[in-house]
Amino acid sequence: MNIQFKKGVLEICVLSVLAHKDCYGYELVSEISKRIDISEGTIYPLLHRLKDDGYVTTYLQESQGGPPRKYYQLTENGRKEEHEQKDEWIQFVASVNALLEGKNYAAE
């Protein structure tokens, strides 16, 4: 699939995964790259940007037998942003699908 498409939706994907649960980097990246074929390296810069923008914070948590892991968590702003982007996305996809399937023309 077109790289621009993927890049554009990556942010909403990251926000959505984090809305379900806090994740450490590797977990989040695997979750997303399982479904979307994108270079995993681009997710970390995105996380970094989301942190800069105040949508995401991090905290360290001990793991069994390993060094502490850095967990990513949505902030209150991040939750709001996730809701908004999700609504926009759903509407957008519905409109595009309607166009692709030619429903609008059929109705006339």
Partner 1 sequence: MLQNEQEYIRILRSRLEGTLPTDELEDIISDYSEHFTMGKENGRTDGELWSSLGSPEDVARELRVMHLVKKAEDDRSCKNIFHAVVATLGLGLFNLVFVLVPFILLVVMLLMIFVIGVLFTVFGPAAFVYSILQLAGLSAFAIWLSPVAGLFISTGITTSGLLMIIGDYYLARFFYRVGIRYLKWNIGVITGTECAA
Q: Which residues bind to partner 1, rule: CB under 8 A? A: 3-4, 6-8, 10-11, 24-26, 29, 33, 37-42, 44-45, 47-49, 52, 66-67, 69-70
Minimum CB separation of residue 55 from partner 1 in Å reads 13
Asked if 13 contacts 19 with a C-beta cutoff of 8 angstroms, the reply is no
Nearest approach, Cβ of 14 to partner 1 (angstroms)? 12
Burial of 78 (0-12, 13-18, 19+ CB in 10 A): buried
The Cα diameter of the chain in Å comes to 65
- Residue 16 CB, nearest approach to partner 1 (Å): 16
